[in-house]
Structure 1
Amino acid sequence: MQSTSYLNMIDSHFHLLSMEKKGMDLASILQRMEELSMEGIEIGLDADDLALRTARFKGYPFIHLSAGIGPWGVQEGMPPIQEQLAEFESQLSRNKVVAIGEIGLDNHHAYGTRQSQTQLMMAQLELARQYEKPVIFHNREADDQFLSLLGEQSFPQQGIFHCFQGSGELASLAIKQGFFLSFAGNLTYGANKTLQDLFKTLPLEHLLLETDSPYLSPIPLRGRPNSPLHLEHLYRFAAALRGMEVEALIDAVRGNFHRFLEQ
């Protein structure tokens, strides 16, 4: 298992149950995260996973939980949207979360239709307003739709665009609306120079970093299942892009993350 010498790193987005399905040893990973004073958000994916995740991870105070139904919730074979939303709200009403997400839009994969994805996302945005929670957005090749959304609505509790890989225009509008932009291991990939150039220019006070574990392992671990313990590679790369010391970037991201939690 990859280890690190850095303390206090924030991983704003990871999926522990998905890591477990890949055969990863959660107990060891969580123990090491605690030893390194790491902190972050374990991200919900489905309507019915919050109660299970709450029970599994209640003994780890450095793990915060979100809950949401991603755009895959409208793919063929899934229960009707209203049925999923009813289960989701039932679990949401009985368990603590720091955010609603990940939710959003995905034009890369054939998840239902644009209309059904939008219907699912908008219903959860209404729940976020009802529960006064920030949102965590999934955006895959849907910049135009999110530009429209951010131009038409306000987000009092703000939120995070996870695994940001959108345009400079979307980044600017999201920041204007008070969102944080979270960057994942794909920032380290050689083909993503445009994303790297954008990352250099963004205001530090709106940046977060994440692993999206078990996905998007950074260079030099690309192709292997990802873990929050691989985060050091992303922090080193990101700090070099911005001409910062790694420890200074860790401090800045940690401050941003705690501001997010306090919204």
Structure 2
Amino acid sequence: MRRQHAARRAGEFPPPAEPLPIPVVDSHTHLDITVTEPGAPGDVAEFVALAAAAGVDRLVQVGTDVESSRWSAALAAEHGAVVATVALHPNEAPRLADLDEALREIEALAGQDRVRGIGETGMDTFRTGDAGRAAQEESFRAHIAIAKRYAKPLVIHDRDAHADVLRILDEEGAPQTVVLHCFSGDAEFAAECVRRGYLLSFAGTVTFTSATALRAAAQITPIKQILVETDAPYLTPMPYRGRPNASYLIPLTVRGLAEATGADLDELCAAISATGDRVFGPW
């Protein structure tokens, strides 16, 4: 599904960004897709090395279906700079012939030491219509239960579904740690998430000219509840929007966040690094 959308991007991978003064974590990337992009500068090891040179020395590789979750877990077992999360993407759940069996596969991976989170799961009313909503919600509730059983953070995909995400988390009882991947809400929604103790992970979208509401959300988020991510190869920060993304471009997002929030760059990097270790570490 996501590989099909990848064909819509154009252009070469951007040049390396100016390194950050303190290394941070890319809390959400898809190396399995990134390495298949046309013009990719190398294999996984090369992308990891490029990220480290830019001050992004830890990566969270995210699963979106059974196959990619297995791949993510195996990669994390081999690369010291990478940990994994495993899950069924919310748009994947309605397409499965046997959702229960797929969830059993995810749970079987969840106990591995290098699997450090359950996600990305959640709700998406942008791509999944009414017919798929029940399966999507069933899958989300099951992932919440898996995260609680294994005491691992829950990584949430939320697209046009803010109210449903909060409702289901409130009904089920959220795990101790919840990460809103690629946070896309406004300041009002951010305040609700912050009040619940959730972490907000900001992607390159926070640098987009049109993202005024998103920057307002970042401004009211305590620095200790902020993470950053690429969602690579998607959501490339400015000035390279529309080109393939990779973890070595995180510095553009971090500097955009610092500018939007008025935070000192060193302080912001140190906070993101510490939060990444607290949520997903130790590496």
User: Does TM, normalized by the shorter one, top 0.5?
Assistant: yes
Q: Return the alpha-carbon distance in structure 1 between the equivalents of residues 249 and 112 of structure 2.
A: 33
Query: Alpha-carbon deviation of 1:5?
Result: 2.3
2:7 corresponds to = none
SS in 2 for 1:61: coil
**Taking structure 1 as reference, are residues 138 and 156 closer, same or farther at Cα in structure 2, changes over 3 Å only?**
closer
Q: Which amino acid aligns with 2:125?
A: N
Of 120, 130, 141 in structure 2, the residue corresponding to residue 102 of structure 1 is 120
Deviates more, 1:123-132 or 1:169-178: 169-178
Q: Return the alpha-carbon distance in structure 2 between the equivalents of residues 139 and 190 of structure 1.
A: 21
Higher RCO, 1 vs 2 (CA within 8 Å, ≥6 residues apart): 2
Of 180, 204, 209 in structure 1, the residue corresponding to residue 199 of structure 2 is 180
Of 152, 162, 165 in structure 2, the residue corresponding to residue 133 of structure 1 is 152
Q: Which amino acid aligns with 1:119?
A: E
Of 27, 31, 52 in structure 1, the residue corresponding to residue 49 of structure 2 is 31
Q: Return the alpha-carbon distance in structure 2 between the equivalents of residues 29 and 96 of structure 1.
A: 19
Q: Which amino acid aligns with 2:64?
A: L
Aligned residues: 262
Of 89, 92, 100 in structure 2, the residue corresponding to residue 73 of structure 1 is 92
Q: Which amino acid aligns with 2:19?
A: S
2:110 pairs with 1:92: yes
Deviates more, 1:49-58 or 1:65-74: 49-58
Per-residue displacement from partner, 1:212-236 (whole Å, max 9, x unpaired)? 1000000101010100011111111
Q: Return the alpha-carbon distance in structure 2 between the equivalents of residues 94 and 198 of structure 1.
A: 34
**Taking structure 1 as reference, are residues 248 and 115 closer, same or farther at Cα in structure 2, changes over 3 Å only?**
same
2:170 pairs with 1:151: yes
Per-residue displacement from partner, 1:59-82 (whole Å, max 9, x unpaired)? 322211111111122344x33211
Identity fraction in percent: 27
Aligned pairs for 1:160-239 within 5 A: 160-239=179-258
2:23 pairs with 1:8: yes
**Taking structure 1 as reference, are residues 151 and 51 closer, same or farther at Cα in structure 2, changes over 3 Å only?**
closer
Unaligned runs of 5+ in 1: none
Per-residue displacement from partner, 1:3-52 (whole Å, max 9, x unpaired)? 23224022111010010221422321112233445213111111233333
**Taking structure 1 as reference, are residues 237 and 93 closer, same or farther at Cα in structure 2, changes over 3 Å only?**
closer
Q: Return the alpha-carbon distance in structure 1 between the equivalents of residues 112 and 218 of structure 2.
A: 38
2:36 pairs with 1:18: no
Q: Which amino acid aligns with 2:102?
A: Q
Of 67, 77, 81 in structure 2, the residue corresponding to residue 62 of structure 1 is 81
Q: Which amino acid aligns with 1:221?
A: Y
**Taking structure 1 as reference, are residues 148 and 243 closer, same or farther at Cα in structure 2, changes over 3 Å only?**
same
**Taking structure 1 as reference, are residues 258 and 93 closer, same or farther at Cα in structure 2, changes over 3 Å only?**
closer
Q: Return the alpha-carbon distance in structure 1 between the equivalents of residues 82 and 201 of structure 2.
A: 17
- The root-mean-square deviation of aligned C-alpha atoms, in Å, is 2.1
Q: Which amino acid aligns with 1:12?
A: S
SS in 2 for 1:48: helix
TM-score (norm 1): 0.91
Unaligned runs of 5+ in 2: 1-13
Q: Return the alpha-carbon distance in structure 2 between the equivalents of residues 19 and 236 of structure 1.
A: 23
Q: Return the alpha-carbon distance in structure 2 between the equivalents of residues 158 and 177 of structure 1.
A: 10
